[in-house]
A and B are shown apart, each in its own frame.
Chain A
Amino acid sequence: MSTVSFTEASVLGGLEAHAPGRDWSGPAPKRIVTGYGFWIFILSDIIMFSAFFASYVVLLGHTAGGPSGRDLFDLRSVAMETAFLLASSFTCGLASIAADARNTTWFHIAMAVTFVFGLGFLSLEAREFTSLVARGAGPTRSAFLSAFFTLVGCHGLHVSAGSLWLLTMMAQVFAKGFRADILRRILCFTLFWHALDIIWIAVFTIVYLLGSAV
């Protein structure tokens, strides 16, 4: 044992220095460190969104004589967007199961379906934004609309970035297979995608449902 190097000793350390109350000790596996770090990023992202939500609620009534949420929002389209994003979150979960089972075919199928749902969401949102701007209710019309476009647009940007990341993950699995580092990236991607759906719950409740009630 005296010839064991430092790194080997820290790997074997779990056998000697057994922390009380745990079956295993030593440095956490890289998957847990990576996942935890990304979890912290997601929470900070949610905190950033909460600032946008606060400003939206404060500015909700400040329409500067322009149209209010009740005049503008099409709840049928919002329900469709919600359905798309929820379905994509579900298929994203299926993709993570396929990745854990190391099944390339099902992983690609589930990710492709997730991408299609995400694209459906984005096209509905783009249609809504262009129709608002065409009706003279662009982000420059009132403080309420500035806050609306900032908040919903920021979520839309996140979904766009997530869609690009999704395609990257499909390409990486295709080219490199289920390597440990690729699996960690898939873990982070699924966390990101599910978190976007959680933020969308707040968006459709606060922005659309409560916003069209005022």
Chain B
Amino acid sequence: MTNGHEHLGHGIDLAPGDEYVEGGIAQRVIGYLTGLGLAILLTATSFFVAGTRLVWEPSIPVALVVLAIAQMGVHLVFFLHITTGPDNTNNVLALAFGVLIVVLLMGGSLWIMINLDQNLMPPMNQIMQMQR
């Protein structure tokens, strides 16, 4: 027990943001440094991919989204300490529900709006031109 929360231990739930580590402060700082390194790597890759002409262009948006999701995962694990451990079940379940709503909201909005965009009547001046 090194992080000063006497009630933290195996078999007891952890608050989101709390981490349970064996080892001292150095161990925890190394954890944050690992997260920082991975985040810098992923961010740099994102900015590089967005500006480069070296990769097939239609793949760039997909690559950017994948890199962003990967970096969010890095932040969740190394900074927020949301892990798959049994002491973290409640936090992970809440996160999963949040992700479900976000996916429904964003996916649903884009699906509906893109569909509407394609099925929308063309502007009036184009209709007039078609009638001529």
Q: Which residues of B contact A54 (CB under 8 A)?
A: 105-106, 109-110
Number of interface residues of B (CB under 8 A): 53
- Note all chain B residues with C-beta closer than 8 A to A11: none
Within 8 A of A (CB), among B67-99: 67-68, 71-72, 75-76, 79-80, 90-91, 94-95, 97-98
On chain B, the residues within 8 Å of A43 by CB distance are: 94-95, 97-98
CB neighbours (8 Å) of A182 from chain B are none
Summed over the interface, the residue pairs from A and B with CB atoms below 8 Å come to a total of 141
Q: Does B51 lie at the interface of the complex (its beta carbon under 8 Å from any beta carbon of A)?
A: yes
- Interface size of A as a range: 35 or more
Residues A100 and B106 in contact, CB atoms below 8 Å apart: no
User: Across the interface, do B64 and A86 meet the contact criterion of CB distance under 8 Å?
Assistant: no
Ordered by A's residue number, 14 sampled pairs between the chains whose C-beta atoms are within 8 Å are: A34-B15, A35-B15, A36-B15, A39-B91, A39-B95, A43-B95, A43-B98, A47-B98, A50-B106, A54-B106, A58-B113, A191-B16, A191-B80, A209-B64
Q: Please list the residues of chain B having a beta carbon within 8 angstroms of any beta carbon in chain A.
A: 3-5, 7, 9-18, 25, 28-29, 32-33, 35-36, 39-40, 43, 46-47, 50-51, 60-61, 64-65, 67-68, 71-72, 75-76, 79-80, 90-91, 94-95, 97-98, 101-102, 105-106, 109-110, 113
| Residues of chain A at the chain B interface (Cβ within 8 Å) | 22-24, 28-29, 31-32, 34-36, 38-40, 43-44, 46-47, 50-51, 53-55, 57-58, 75, 79, 82-83, 86, 89-90, 93-94, 96-97, 100-102, 187, 190-191, 194-195, 197-198, 201-202, 204-206, 209-210, 212-213
